[in-house]
């Protein structure tokens, strides 16, 4: 028997971005190419299908996330290179977290474990959606999933309340499904308790995919538009504005500088070049 037969298996946790080939990172492309076995939700498999020729492909449905993780571990322990794929970033509402939970329960350790694990980051849904509407995330923001399948709804409400009160730009994931229709209504109510009705809101469905749909609305009118599980809802803060179809959240430069002349405003101190710090 050759030494190769004893080579440790590997799990590659791959985020392949929003779905368009242009946003698949070089490392993600390489990782999928290295894999002998590719495991993923059926929609994910469809999105990277051209890269899967000659590979063992295992499709799993929604709610079978832990099955995917356990199967990846089983095949890796058999010596296979396994790519467990997620759209967006695998570490943001993706498969990285549950995989590490399964690995821990199975007695695996990052140092000296019988399986190597690599996390391959990707372009997140919120950053992809933001890019399609301008620059809504330029200042502080947070992401909140409205799905209460794994997180109790009272906890989600507390997070919404805190984010709204703190004036974060908020990206809402999993806003609505066929059975979950009240959550997005309640989220709007909470946000309206702290923000003006005219606060800009972007509804972005399937960013960069064939069925992409983008709507710019306001906090008071957002529910008049179609919202589903593939929609990411970007809610601006008190400074966010729109112009010519773009949604922009200022970083705060206008508070410090005259934007037309670049002069520092009275009472403000000019910033120091980053190169000064880099050179010591």
Q: What is the CATH number of the domain that holds 224?
A: 3.30.950.10
174-188 per-position pLDDT tens digit: 999 988 999 999 999
Burial 111-132 (b: 16+ CB within 10 A, else e): eeeebebebbbbbbbbbbbbbb
Last residue of a domain, one of 123, 144, 169: 123
From CA 174, how far away is CA 88, in angstroms rounded? 14
Mean predicted lDDT score pLDDT of the chain: 91
- The C-alpha angle with vertex 96 and arms to 94 and 97, in degrees rounded to 5, equals 90
Place 207 in a pLDDT band, splitting at 50, 70 and 90. Answer: very high
Do residues 146 and 116 share a domain? no
On whether residue 1 sits in a domain, the answer given is no
231-242 per-position pLDDT tens digit: 999 999 999 999
Place 264 in a pLDDT band, splitting at 50, 70 and 90. Answer: confident
On whether residue 43 sits in a domain, the answer given is yes
Last residue of a domain, one of 99, 123, 147: 123
Which pLDDT score, from 0 to 100, does residue 178 have?
87
Place 4 in a pLDDT band, splitting at 50, 70 and 90. Answer: very low
Which has the closest alpha carbon to 45: 10, 14, 81?
A: 14
Do residues 149 and 170 share a domain? yes
Residue 91's domain spans which residues? 8-123
Average pLDDT over residues 21-25: 94
70-129 per-position pLDDT tens digit: 999 999 999 999 999 999 999 999 999 999 999 999 999 998 879 999 999 999 999 999
Do residues 251 and 130 share a domain? yes
Q: In what helix (H) or strand (E) does residue 169 lie, and over which residues does it extend?
A: strand 169-173
Structural tokens at position 162: 């805190």
Residue 41 φ/ψ region, left for φ over 0, alpha for ψ in the -120 to 50 degree band, beta for the rest: beta
Helix, strand or coil for residue 87? Answer: coil
């Amino acid at each position: 028997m050759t030494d190769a037969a004893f080579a440790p298996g590997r799990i590659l946790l791959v985020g392949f971005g929003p779905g368009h080939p242009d946003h698949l990172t070089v490392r993600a492309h390489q990782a999928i190419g290295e894999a002998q076995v590719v495991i993923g939700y059926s929609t994910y498999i469809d999105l990277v299908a051209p890269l899967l020729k000659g590979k063992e492909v295992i499709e799993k449905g929604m709610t079978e996330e832990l099955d995917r993780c356990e199967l990846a571990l089983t095949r890796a322990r058999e010596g296979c290179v396994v790519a467990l794929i997620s759209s967006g970033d695998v570490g943001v509402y993706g498969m990285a977290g549950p995989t590490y939970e399964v690995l821990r329960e199975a007695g695996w350790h990052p140092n000296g474990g019988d399986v190597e694990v690599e996390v391959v980051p990707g372009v997140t849904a919120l950053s992809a959606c933001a890019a399609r509407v301008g620059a809504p995330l330029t200042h502080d923001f947070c992401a909140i999933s409205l799905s209460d399948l794994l997180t109790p709804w009272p906890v989600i409400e507390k997070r919404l309340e805190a984010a709204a009160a703190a004036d974060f730009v908020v990206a809402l994931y999993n806003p609505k499904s066929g059975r979950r229709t009240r959550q997005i209504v309640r989220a709007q109510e909470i946000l309206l308790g702290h923000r003006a009705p005219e606060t800009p809101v972007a509804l972005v469905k399937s960013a960069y995919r064939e069925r992409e749909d983008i709507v710019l609305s306001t906090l008071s009118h957002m529910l008049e538009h179609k919202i589903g599980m593939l929609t990411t809802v970007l809610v601006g803060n008190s400074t966010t504005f729109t112009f010519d179809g773009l949604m922009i959240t200022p970083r705060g430069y206008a508070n410090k500088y005259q934007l037309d002349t670049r002069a520092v405003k009275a009472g403000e101190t000019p910033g120091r070049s980053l190169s000064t710090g880099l050179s010591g």
